[in-house]
A and B are shown apart, each in its own frame.
Chain A
Amino acid sequence: MNRRQLLLTLCAAATLAGAPAAHADALANIMKNGSLRVAVPQDFPPFGSVGADLKPVGYDIDTAKLIASRLGVTVELVPVTSANRIAYLQTNKVDLVISSMGKNAEREKVIDFTDAYAPFFNGVFGPASIKAAKAADLSGKTIGVTRGAVEDIELSKIAPADATIKRYEDNNGTISAFLSNQVQLIATGNVVAAAILARNPPKKPETKFLIKDSPCFIGLNKGESALQAKVNAILADAKKDGSLNTISRKWLGSDLPAGL
């Protein structure tokens, strides 16, 4: 090994050793700066949208505030889109991504996730008077769905033959059909059901059963195990003491599902 090679090797080693050091420990940094930088959506109600005072509001924003307050630091909200939220994390512009993000294998290659913090699913919804705990219970019932949506495709597979599926052009048609009693139940996303509940209609869409479950997770950089453990502990506490449930009731109009 000549000198030049040795120098290159040393440089490479220094770079490798130095890379994590430059990140330092995200949790320690947050505590030192006294502020938690969180990527939040501003175009996806009820998770994140711009309120009347032009400040971001929503489920994700309240979760960010909850975590910051339990850490004892201030929160700095960074509006992102679903396309650039992971890039914000990777370039260290934010500490956490709380942006109604689902977990999948591709994302897990580049970032880590905490435990789930929000429910996100397609399911069958209907008034309390109708019992339907599983797909077989739809027998003889009329279910409205938006044509071509994921829930249409899935429900068409699992619904019994004598269930009537009415397919509408868009979500508004499906909602109108449900509210005007043209269908007994609807299959849709929990966010859509929350939007209906928010209008406080006489016929309330309560969750009957889930068709496809894809809860939201908080994203953080790889290797930040201290921050990950801390956020997980906060989430576990918040689930236990009901403060996360309060956020769910406020924005989604319903309690957190038992399995979250």
Chain B
Amino acid sequence: MAYRFDFASIADYTPVLAKGLGVTVELIAFGAVAGVAIGIAAAWARTEGPRWLRPCITTYVELIRNTPFLIQLFFIFFGLPALGVQLGEMQAACLAMAVNLGAYSAEIIRAGIAATPRGQYEAGASLAMTRLEVFRHIVLKPALARIWPALSSQIVIVMLGSAVCSQIAAEDLSFAANFIQSRNFRAFEVYIVTTVIYLLLAIVLRQLLRLLGQHLFRRAPR
């Protein structure tokens, strides 16, 4: 093979990669927490919430799940300023990720809730709990335990999807890779290094979520 590998040329840019990795971690940390929170709220609203709210939630979920993430991101970053909502690239990226994960996790969590046996609701009602109390104490936790692996996968998918945030100049890991590539033209070396970092990041994230699941649902019934 005639190509001469030169990984040393990447070494000069280690701070750029490190900064990019930091931004990606920041994005996924915020995106995952806010996204799952939105997902739980939306799942509640869709199953237990007031009747008038349900079509709104359905519209939100279907709108987000049936449009590309990149377009959602561009709409927030380039489109909203026309309506007077000026968000920086990090705010826009965080919002887009939270909104996107919110819609997907709403559907996943709803599936978990739908699998709750009727007897559980009746047990809650017989203890004079309100509907909200039943949801909080009886329904939600086992539901989350049921769908935790699926939710973890979705969070990893959104983390990998955060790569497109580089398109609005959010300086994440992909931005760092593209930036280095535009400076030293070492595309192969840059992208192989970035690929390995993303892979490690995904493995670490998955393990963290597994441990979190074990901790949260230790004694939850299956």
Interface contact B78-A177, CB-CB below 8 Å? yes
Of residues 2 through 20 on chain B, the ones whose CB sits less than 8 Å from some CB of chain A are: none
Residues of A within 8 A of B82 (CB): 180
Interface contact A168-B81, CB-CB below 8 Å? no
Least CB distance, B215 to chain A, in whole angstroms: 40
Q: Is the interface of A mostly helix, strand, loop or mixed?
A: mixed
Task: Out of B78, B168, B179, name the residue touching A147 (CB < 8 Å).
Answer: B179
Could you mark each residue 69-84 of chain B with 1 if its beta carbon is under 8 Å from any beta carbon of chain A, else 0? 0000010011101100
- CB nearest to B77 among chain A residues: A182
Q: Is B172 an interface residue (CB 8 A)?
A: no
Known contacts A147-B178, A147-B179, A181-B86; A176/B78 CB under 8 A? yes
Residues of A within 8 A of B74 (CB): 176
Interface size class of A (residues with CB under 8 A): 10 to 19
Least CB distance, A203 to chain B, in whole angstroms: 11
Residues of B within 8 A of A167 (CB): 169, 175, 179
Of residues 105 through 162 on chain A, the ones whose CB sits less than 8 Å from some CB of chain B are: 144, 147-148, 152-153
Q: Is B89 an interface residue (CB 8 A)?
A: yes
Task: Out of A144, A153, A181, name the residue touching B81 (CB < 8 Å).
Answer: A181
Q: Is the interface of B mostly helix, strand, loop or mixed?
A: helix
Interface contact B89-A173, CB-CB below 8 Å? no
Known contacts A166-B89, A180-B78, A182-B78; A173/B167 CB under 8 A? yes
Q: Is B182 an interface residue (CB 8 A)?
A: yes
Task: Out of A148, A152, A180, name the residue touching B77 (CB < 8 Å).
Answer: A180
- CB nearest to A170 among chain B residues: B167
User: What separation, in Å, do the CA atoms of A132 and B13 have in the docked complex?
Assistant: 30
Least CB distance, B164 to chain A, in whole angstroms: 10
User: What separation, in Å, do the CA atoms of A216 and B182 have in the docked complex?
Assistant: 27
- CB nearest to B164 among chain A residues: A169
Residues of A within 8 A of B178 (CB): 147, 169
Known contacts A169-B167, A177-B169; A182/B81 CB under 8 A? yes
Residues of A within 8 A of B89 (CB): 166, 182
Interface contact B169-A166, CB-CB below 8 Å? yes
- CB nearest to A175 among chain B residues: B78
Of residues 30 through 86 on chain B, the ones whose CB sits less than 8 Å from some CB of chain A are: 74, 77-79, 81-82, 86
Residues of B within 8 A of A173 (CB): 167-169
User: What separation, in Å, do the CA atoms of A173 and B175 have in the docked complex?
Assistant: 14
Least CB distance, B163 to chain A, in whole angstroms: 12
User: What separation, in Å, do the CA atoms of A177 and B77 have in the docked complex?
Assistant: 8
Least CB distance, B38 to chain A, in whole angstroms: 25
Residues of B within 8 A of A182 (CB): 77-78, 81, 86, 88-89, 168-169
Residues of A within 8 A of B86 (CB): 181-182
- CB nearest to B167 among chain A residues: A169
Residues of B within 8 A of A152 (CB): 182
User: What separation, in Å, do the CA atoms of A144 and B78 have in the docked complex?
Assistant: 13
Interface contact A180-B182, CB-CB below 8 Å? no
- CB nearest to A152 among chain B residues: B182
- CB nearest to A165 among chain B residues: B169
- CB nearest to B88 among chain A residues: A182
User: What separation, in Å, do the CA atoms of A144 and B82 have in the docked complex?
Assistant: 18
Residues of B within 8 A of A153 (CB): 183
Residues of A within 8 A of B79 (CB): 180
Of residues 164 through 220 on chain B, the ones whose CB sits less than 8 Å from some CB of chain A are: 166-169, 175, 178-179, 181-183
Residues on B close to A: CB < 8 A? 74, 77-79, 81-82, 86, 88-89, 166-169, 175, 178-179, 181-183
Instruction: Enumerate the 9 nearest inter-chain pairs by beta-carbon distance, A residue then B residue, closest first.
Output: A148-B182, A180-B81, A166-B169, A176-B78, A180-B78, A147-B182, A169-B167, A181-B81, A168-B169
A-B contact list, 29 entries, CB within 8 Å: A147-B182, A148-B181, A152-B182, A153-B183, A166-B89, A166-B169, A167-B169, A167-B179, A168-B167, A168-B168, A169-B166, A169-B167, A169-B178, A173-B167, A173-B168, A173-B169, A176-B78, A180-B77, A180-B79, A180-B81, A180-B82, A181-B81, A182-B78, A182-B81, A182-B86, A182-B88, A182-B89, A182-B168, A182-B169
